[in-house]
Amino acid sequence: MSTYRLGQPAQPGSTGPSSGMGICSGPSEAKQLKIILSLIAPQISLSSSADSSAAAAQVDRPSRPLIRGIYVPTVAFFDSETDELDVKTVSRHAVRLAKAGVSGLAVQGSNGEAVHLAQDKRSTITRTTRAALDAAGFTSMPLIVGCGAQSIIEAVKLCRDAAATGGDYALVLPPSYYAGLFDSSTVESYFVGVADASPIPIIIYNYPGATPGIDINSDTLIRLSRHANIVGCKFTCGNTGKLGRVAAAVKASGDNFQCFAGSSDFLLASMAAGAAGVIGGLANVSPRANVRLFKLAEAGPEKAAEAAALQSVLGAGDWVAIQTGVVGVKGGASGVLWLWRICPKAAAETG
């Protein structure tokens, strides 16, 4: 039996589709996507190349730059009796993290349980988080919003909603449901399509654990880094070699693209490879320790011993967080918030 790839022509003698707009025949995948989008979403245009000048003209840079440092993919809190969103705790948690010195927050990520939330709940969390930061004086802190979806059209809708509710950047997973039917060019076309139409810049979310069969390679990421509306990648794949290749290429080309580790357990190694910081769930529990490690890494060789010791501690903590998942991270964050309520001074020294 022949194996077909989405967007690739059928091979001579194959028994696959061979006429019309079949998956395996006809125009290239980029053309297929253009035709489909022209029929069902005329407002979305798909660029044929990652560094198109047309896309660059569409981009409105946000007022909150994606600076180096620690970004926290926040957890979502719910009322234990009603299962409704606990917006007060969402707000308190956001402000606690900001006061700890992190560079930015991310909502609707894996730790934020976006896959469990209806769109109105997602919008409420984004709006609540932005409002809490602004009210506490953190008006310049960037807010990243998870906008991954299985289609370009749906992802763009999420990006637009993120922009409308206070988001500055969109964190976008690749599509994965039909992963067995497409190759890396499909993933690349997807990100170009989303970036062309998104009103806010996007950050690629490379997380093979959440998208089985999809682990974006460095060549694809380097090409995507040239797109004017793609400004970074979260490497939850944990591959520092890949991160280093992309970081080196971006530095050489001068592109505005940041590489972030996807967890705290390899923050130090990723910084050595050229990362701009981390977008890591453990910082929900220990934001100050993460910020401290980032600063030690930035300080250079004279702080190497202290940095290595702290990385060992965070690595052990992150392993617990990885094993227990969202439940463990949320439990730890809830405990700190409880301590903050009864003893603010002690809580201020935690994490």
Which residues are tagged catalytic? 234
Element (DSSP H or E) covering residue 65 = none
- Three-class SS of residue 116? helix
d(CA 7, CA 185): 8
d(CA 208, CA 176): 10
Print burial letters for 137-160: b (CB count within 10 Å at least 16), e (below 16): ebeebbbbbbbbbeebbebbbbbb
d(CA 113, CA 96): 20
Alpha carbon dihedral 315, 329, 128, 198, in 10-degree steps, equals: 60
Q: Which string of DSSP letters, residue by residue, matches 32-46?
A: HHHHHHHHH-TT---
d(CA 58, CA 126): 24
Neighbours of 83 (CB within 10 A): 8
- Three-class SS of residue 293? helix
